[in-house]
Chains A and B, each alone.
Chain A
């Protein structure tokens, strides 16, 4: 199989007569390797090790617990997926408002959520919904940010009602 891109370590030898490609996998790895990400990866691992994975899990779990408690109290909101031991994501639908609209309105306030079917169309069909809004909480999120999300959702719901 010939390589579709050239450059960098994918070459072994070039003369006017003939080009010899490097061995696999280099033949198919044209260009400069992603050095910056490899360097950054060390810092990402240091960050995780320093905080401790248990602490990170506990923080995420607490954020999820807090967000679930607050968001489930909002009128017209229905949570989708409420398993006990799930990862720190919160999916929900709002009565009468399309997930895309919610996402766009949250975006206008600088809040990033994912909307749509999340690559699980058969599951959405099973629930009889077009999609959900999904907020994800990670180690660098805070309960204050969840308060802002709740406040923004309240505004959206009030506006649309």
Chain B
């Protein structure tokens, strides 16, 4: 699935919640619970995303030109939010991630239910994921 197909799928899932704030928050936490566990040794100081109020650990690896992220958080909602990004970006190439235009947050009205502080934290996660993509891209170009 492409990045935009993933986004569209998320938008259609959230539209079923009909703008109910509480259900939306519950749903995000449920998504977080389904996120594959992150190995404890990866939850290191250096994998913490800066700019998040909650603790978020994020790391990535390259598998046959595709990037795989893994993440965890100490709060359930943030874990749910990062799980959305992982769903969109996992298995994509560095170029696709770098050029991705993320529009799903606006479409699902995210700023309405997560507030400014979390929105900033969310932007920090996206930035960190794009930085990983850039690092992998640079590494590959050096090899060539």
Contact = CB atoms under 8 A, between A and B. Distances in A.
A160 B76 contact: yes
A108 B76 contact: no
Contacts of A105: 22, 25-26
A109 B76 contact: no
Interface residues of A: mostly helix, strand, loop or mixed? Answer: helix
A116 B25 CA distance: 19
Interface in A144-161: 159-160
B54 A108 contact: no
B21 interface: yes
Interface stretch (A5-13, A60-68, A74-82, A96-104): A96-104
Contacts of B77: 100-101, 104
Contacts, number: 37
Contacts of A101: 29, 75-77
Chain B interface bracket (under 10, 10 to 19, 20 to 34, 35 or more): 10 to 19
B84 to A, nearest CB: 15
A108 B75 contact: no
Interface in A73-95: none
A109 B25 CA distance: 11
A41 B118 CA distance: 34
B113 interface: yes
B26 A100 contact: no
Contacts of B53: 100, 116
A113 B43 CA distance: 30
Given A104-B25, A108-B24, A159-B26, A98 B75 contact: yes
B25 A100 contact: no
A152 to B, nearest CB: 9
B74 interface: yes
B102 to A, nearest CB: 21
Interface in B1-33: 21-22, 24-26, 29
A36 to B, nearest CB: 25
A104 B54 CA distance: 12
B124 to A, nearest CB: 15
A105 B28 CA distance: 11
A160 to B, nearest CB: 7
A108 B74 contact: no
A116 B54 CA distance: 10
Contacts of B118: 104
Interface of B: 21-22, 24-26, 29, 53-54, 74-78, 113-115, 118
Interface of A: 97-98, 100-101, 104-105, 107-109, 116, 130, 159-160
